[in-house]
Structure 1
Amino acid sequence: MTKRALGVLIACFCTLFITYSIRYGYGILLPGMLVTLAISKTEAGIISAAYFIAYTICSPVLGLMGDRFNSRVLISVFTGILGTGALLMAYADSVVEASLYFALAGVGASACWAPVVALAQRWVSPGRRGTAVALIDVGTSLGIVWMGTVGPGIVTAFGWEAGWMSLGALGLLVASINFILMRNQPSEQSVLQSTHSGRSADISLLALYSSLIHNGKFWLFGVAYMLSGFAILIPFTFLSTYAVEELSLSYGASANLFIVIGIVAGVGKIGLGALSDKTGRIEMIILSTLLIVIGTLGMAYAGGFLALALLTIVFSFGYGAIWSLYAAAAADYFSRELAGSIVGLWTMYLGVGSILSPIIAGRIADTTGTLTWSFIVAAAGAVMALVLLLLLWKGK
């Protein structure tokens, strides 16, 4: 691996680190926001949904732009927008303001997944795609660990507003790192030029979309992607609140669960990602989804910290690898050169699940007085994803 390739992968790692620190840091900072802003769990879900509405609208376009235009500039600029949105969250005084600021962060984040993993895959050999994506995806886990470790101390000493300020400042720093380290691809040419002899490079955008729309596997992957996102976001949004309000754990203990998620997810990313290069992508996606089913269903019945921590470990191992496995599957099943566009389209499905998930879970909790049923609904979503993935596995 060249020094330039290593620099690109480091920048990709940093981008995913801050993106997921902000995305899932919301759940860690939420208990304090509920009190200060005097909002219900449904309203908390609406704020979270605002992020994913913006993310969903922008991701397909930016996934395409990452494949066809200057990835270095694109990712750097939108990482800066992500950081700005997080910074503004510290100044939110209402549900409307928080929703608008978090939506801005969602706009920035829309260029911080599909274009990033597509760029990373261009800098490694085909046989190392799963491993490379898994390695940079460890940044998402470490971002969660960082928030789980540092977040409670910042909140205790300075308030939840300082947590958002820290995230925003770090986002702006990573934007600068991206501009310094990133390059578009080894040949420094556009994807279409560098792959002129490849069949996928000659496909027009309209033809690409048309072929995918008529491809049953694309739809099965997309809906499974949506249902997986639906299931995963419920624990990330409400696990800390659930631990504090219903299991009477301290805020510090509830934040420790996110440290567990980050560490175990990192192990899952590397282990299952590397294993998928040998055993097959779909098999590992199925295993990851099964672990998410077990983890989310068990959370609903956890009676204390130890049980909840154990089930969080199970959930985290499955969650850790799943997105990088889907990204690698896009290159395996469809097109390496246009993987960013494909993952961007799948992100539309993910967005639907992620928009509905926190609102439905919050509404159920407000209606029933408990988050138990919200976790059961999360498990049901993962079960449906598992069924679709088994159909893909059977028909491969």
Structure 2
Amino acid sequence: MKTASYRWVILGTSVITVLGALGFGRFGFTMILPAMKEGLSLSQSGAGSLVTSSLAGYLVMALTIGTLISLAGHRVLITVSLLLLAASLFLIGVSRQYGSILIFCFLAGAGSGGANVGIMGLPAFWFTPRQRGMAGGVIVSGSSFGLLVTGLVIPRILAAYGPRGWRYSWMFLGCSVLLVAVLCFLLVRNRPSDLGLALNRRGAAGKQPEKRPFRRMGSVYRSGAIWHLAAIYVMFGFSYIIYASFFADYLVREIGLSVSFAGFLWSGVGVVSVVSGFLWGAVSDRLGRKYGLAMVFFLQTMCYVFFGFSHTPFLMYASALLFGITSWSIPAIMVAAVGDLVKADLVPAAFGFITFFFGIGQVIAPIAAGRIAESAGSMKWSFIAAGAAAFIGAAASLLLKRRKPAAQ
């Protein structure tokens, strides 16, 4: 089997990995959180702290991922991360104490971050620079399938098991991630040379990487272009996590819709979002990263503002549609943009670095959104704040400079 053939195995496995790491590991909160709040008698801030704990774990892993991958390799780190995630999700379901759940949420976030950032670094080894936006876009579609599964399955589990439904939901997700970990271990390879395959003549896999790339990681942290991407990524982390975490809670508790309808709409977002990463990744391959990012951020600004005023059906559906067609595009463009700036063996470190700042936005956002909601008496203004952050992201994206892809 040649490199050109096995890269599609890598791509398919990567989609399934993101399904487990983000689709189940992070977006499971969207549908489970309302029942979890009721079962544990949590305030808005208390629920936000659970989300923040998970995101803090993601943030810590993002900062260390470059060194860990250089020592263990993508395959080992991704598999171990998925195993940690699977165990943590299951233990969230069986834990009785709020403090214990906070700890397991943190560990779940670390597992999610390790698997997601690790898998997003693989296109740099398996695809050419002009294909990386497309490849990253396909990979992030795993989150879309996660939305689809959780939106359809979790409400049925909640309805079937009543007060204990949220616990069984986490157990179901934990067992599902365990299966993903096994598949990942069997199929993922770090680079074509691991299978004795010929390297791509156009530079997809490039030269055999150095054994200690972490010695050159300082160049990543000194790059002004990388810091610029990190600043933009903060805005995405802050804005999208408010929408993704409180989507169902807002529709159920403030708009007065049923859990099943919120799940149906969330699944609809998942269906539409399957093409979002691929679509906008390809747009960025053709028009450039700055214009791709700016267009997506502008559409997401409209999405969040519409949702804040979604007491009318038109705005509610328009918001869901806008989120669906743009949802996972920014991570896809970001990993391609990083691949343009650094050599392939430094992509995990660079993407992990900007993801750390993305994580800062995510950690701050749920707590800020909860406090805004409690002060204003409505989640509406939390979504308006998300829209303001997305607008800043659009403006910052237009300031990016076009650069030639780094030599691999």
Please state which band the TM-score falls in when normalised by the shorter chain: over 0.9
- Deviation string for 1:23-46 (max 9, x for gaps)? 011021011011110001111111
2:185 paired residue number: 179
What displacement does 1:335 show? 2.9
Cα distance in 2 for partners of 1:395, 1:134 equals 20
SS at match of 1:90: helix
Counterpart of 2:266? Answer: 258
Name the CA shift for 1:324/1:92 in 2 (closer, same or farther; >3 Å).
Answer: same
The match for 1:205 among 214, 217, 225 is: 214
2: CA distance, partners of 1:98 / 1:369: 27
Q: Deviations over 1:187-244 (max 9, x none)?
A: 1299xx99999699599635432x3444322222101101111000001111101101
1:389 equivalent among 382, 393, 397: 397
Partner amino acid, structure 1, of 2:180: V
User: Any conservation in 1 of the 2:136–2:278 contact (CA below 8 Å)?
Assistant: no
The correspondence for 2:90, drawn from 81, 87, 90, is 87
Q: What SS class does the counterpart of residue 23 from structure 1 fall into? A: coil
Task: Tell me the TM-score normalised to structure 2 length.
Answer: 0.90
Name whichever of 181-190 and 245-254 sits farther off.
181-190
State which of 11, 14, 20 in structure 2 corresponds to 1:12.
14
From the superposition, tell whether residues 7 and 395 of structure 1 become closer, same or farther in structure 2 (CA, over 3 Å).
closer
Counterpart in 1 of 2:172? 166
Aligned residue runs from structure 1 range 216-295, under 5 A: 216-295=224-303
1:203 and 1:329, CA in 2 relative to 1: closer, same or farther beyond 3 A? farther
How many residues are aligned here? 393
Preserved CA contact (<8 Å) 2:70 2:212:
no
State how far apart, in whole Å, the 1-side matches of 2:118 and 2:292 are. Answer: 23
CA distance in 2 between counterparts of 1:197 and 1:315 reads 36
Structure 1 residues 302-311 or 145-154, which shifts more?
Answer: 302-311
What is the match of residue 46 of structure 2?
43
C-alpha displacement at 1:394, in angstroms? Answer: 8.2
CA distance in 2, matches of 1:227, 1:384: 7
- The residue identity in structure 1 corresponding to 2:217 is L
In structure 1, give the amino acid aligned to 2:145: L
Query: Matches of 2:104 and 2:208 in 1, distance apart?
Result: 42
Alignment-mate amino acid for residue 117 of structure 1: M
Stretches of structure 1 that go unaligned for 5 or more consecutive residues are none
**What is the 5 A alignment of 1:119-138?**
119-138=122-141
Give the alignment's Cα RMSD to 1 decimal: 2.5
- d(CA) in 2 for partners of 1:109 and 1:205? 22
Aligned pair partner of 2:341 in 333, 357, 365: 333
CA shift at 1:65, angstroms?
2.8
- Cα gap change, 1:141/1:244 in structure 2, threshold over 3 Å: closer, same or farther? same
5+ residue gaps, structure 2, are none
Write out aligned runs for 1:104-119 (5 A).
104-119=107-122
Alignment partner of 1:362 out of 344, 359, 370: 370
Distance of 2:402 and 2:194 partners within structure 1? 40
Distance 1:393 1:295 in 2: 27
Write the letter of the residue equivalent to 1:296.
Answer: Y
Identify the match of residue 99 of structure 2 among 96, 100, 112.
96
Whether contact under 8 Å (1:121, 1:132) holds in the other structure is no
CA distance in structure 1 between the partners assigned to 2:401 and 2:270 by the alignment: 29
Note closer, same or farther for the CA distance 1:220–1:199 as it changes in structure 2 (3 Å cut): farther
Q: Is the 8 Å Cα contact of residues 86 and 164 (structure 1) preserved in structure 2? A: yes
| Rounded Cα–Cα distance in structure 1 between residues aligned with 2:11 and 2:206 | 26
**Residue deviations 1:54-83 (CA, integer Å, cap 9, x gap):** 111122222343355322121111111111
Question: Structure 1 pair 220/29, CA: closer, same or farther in 2 (3 Å)?
Answer: same
2:403 and 2:349 map into 1 onto residues whose CA distance is 24
Query: How much has 1:134 moved relative to structure 2?
Result: 1.2
2:99 aligned partner, one-letter code: V
